[in-house]
Structure 1
Amino acid sequence: MHCNNWIFDMDGTLTDSMTVVWEGAPDALLARYGRTPKSDLHKTLLAMGMADGAAYLIREYNLPLKMEDYNDVMWDVITKLYETVELKPGVRELLARLKAEGARMCICSNTWSAQCRTVLTRLGIDEYFDFYVEAQGALHKSRPDVFFQTLARLGGTDPNRCVVCEDSLYAARTAHDAGFHVIGIADAASKSDEPALREVSDQFLTDWTELDWNKV
């Protein structure tokens, strides 16, 4: 195996939570305050980190929330939704083989690290990851810094020997342009971006059972 460092997104990449949680949570939050979501809400939020998304919802929907209150409210909303989330096909087998081959792995997600850990602990795969990175603020995935800093924490220096696994086009493109080895994974929430995601991925998979190990 050429690549011994692996950076995984969680939502839509390892878990089926993009539709369940990240399309469901904004709607559930707005419903609490009697607001109706616009038709392009999910697409707009998809390319934002948590902080930017919160500011957008508060501003655009005139929510009676301050930024310091938002996290507690949204945490309650998504915690309930995450209880129904499951792993995508092939994830357990993938992680077990990577560990057996000596790969170092971590999570780099827009979602709060504590929430990621809770979900992946429930699903029985937390043990595979060395650490969790919150891709928010200055470390948003639209900028390559988050991937380089994460690679350094994994103990690597060469992006070409580090795999970034993503379902989101903007994040995959950032990693690709920075020289990382990119694996794109199909997800219903990003179906419209699939042609472009294929272009920036070294491998594009319908699910993890399709991974060609000879190419990583």
Structure 2
Amino acid sequence: MHCKQWIFDMDGTLTDSMVVVWEGAPEALLARFGRTPKADLHETLLTMGMEDGAQYLIREYALPLDRNGYLDVMREVIAQLYEKVELKPGVRDTLARLRAEGARMCICSNTWSSQCRAVLTRLGIDEYFDFYIEARGAMSKSSPAPFMEALHRLGGTSPAGCAVCEDAIYAAQTAHDAGFYLVGIQDVSSAADAPALRRVCDQFLPDWTALDWAQV
């Protein structure tokens, strides 16, 4: 195994949370205030970042919230939805084998670290990860910065010897361009991006049971 460092996204990569949490959260938040979401809510929010999406929901649905209040309520909603989240097939066995073969692992996620840790602790796999990186702002996965920081903190020096595991094409493209070994995971939320993911990934998997160990 030439990849001794492994950087994992969480949502849609290790967990089945993209639809359950990130597509479900705006509707769950609106339901708290008795609002009925429009039919195109999901498609509209896909074109926005988190900040713009918050302002849109507050404005469009006349929510009695300011930005900070919105963030507080949304965190509560998200935490509740994460209670329904499960691991994708093969995750537990994959992590156990990586540890047995001496790999070091971390999480690099858009989701705040405390929430990631709570989810992965509940699911019994937090112990496999040395640390968590929040990929936000200057550390967005649109930049190689979070991946390079993770590589160095894991004790690596070469991106080619470090696997990045992703389900999102923008993050996968960044890691590919920076020279990392790229493992793509299929997810229903990013089905439209599957052809593009397949092109940039060293391995593109339907789930973790399909990982080709001879190639990593």
Give the alignment's TM-score, normalised by structure 2: 0.92
Partner in structure 1 of residue 55 of structure 2: 59
2:47 aligned counterpart, secondary structure:
helix
The correspondence of residues 137-216 of structure 1 with structure 2, limited to 5 A, is 137-216=137-216
1:105 aligned counterpart, secondary structure:
strand
State the shift of 1:174 in Å: 0.7
The alpha-carbon distance between structure 1 residues 85 and 194, as it changes in their structure 2 partners (threshold 3 A), is same
The answer as to 2:43 corresponding to 1:40 is yes
State the shift of 1:60 in Å: 2.0
Q: Distance in 1 between matches of 2:22 and 2:81?
A: 9
Give the alignment's TM-score, normalised by structure 1: 0.92
The alignment's C-alpha RMSD in Å is 1.4
The correspondence of residues 32-111 of structure 1 with structure 2, limited to 5 A, is 32-33=32-33, 34=35, 36-37=37-38, 38-41=41-44, 43-44=46-47, 52-53=49-50, 55-61=51-57, 62=59, 63-111=63-111
Runs (4 or more) in structure 1 with deviation over 6 Å come to: none
Partner in structure 2 of residue 49 of structure 1: none
1:79 aligned counterpart, secondary structure:
helix
Amino acid corresponding to residue 58 of structure 1 in structure 2: A
Structure 2 unaligned regions, length at least 5: none
Amino acid corresponding to residue 169 of structure 2 in structure 1: L
State the shift of 1:30 in Å: 3.0
Amino acid corresponding to residue 36 of structure 1 in structure 2: P
What is the identity percentage for the equivalent residue pairs of Structure 1 and Structure 2?
65
Q: Distance in 2 between matches of 1:78 and 1:27?
A: 11
Matched pairs, number: 209
1:6 aligned counterpart, secondary structure:
strand
1:154-200 residue CA offsets vs partner (Å, 9 max, x unmatched) = 11110011100001111101100111111000000000100001011
Structure 1 unaligned regions, length at least 5: 46-51
State the shift of 1:35 in Å: 5.7
Q: Distance in 1 between matches of 2:188 and 2:31?
A: 23
Kept after mapping to 1: 8 A contact 2:55/2:67: no
Kept after mapping to 2: 8 A contact 1:7/1:106: yes
Q: Distance in 1 between matches of 2:130 and 2:42?
A: 39
The answer as to 2:8 corresponding to 1:5 is no
Amino acid corresponding to residue 26 of structure 1 in structure 2: P
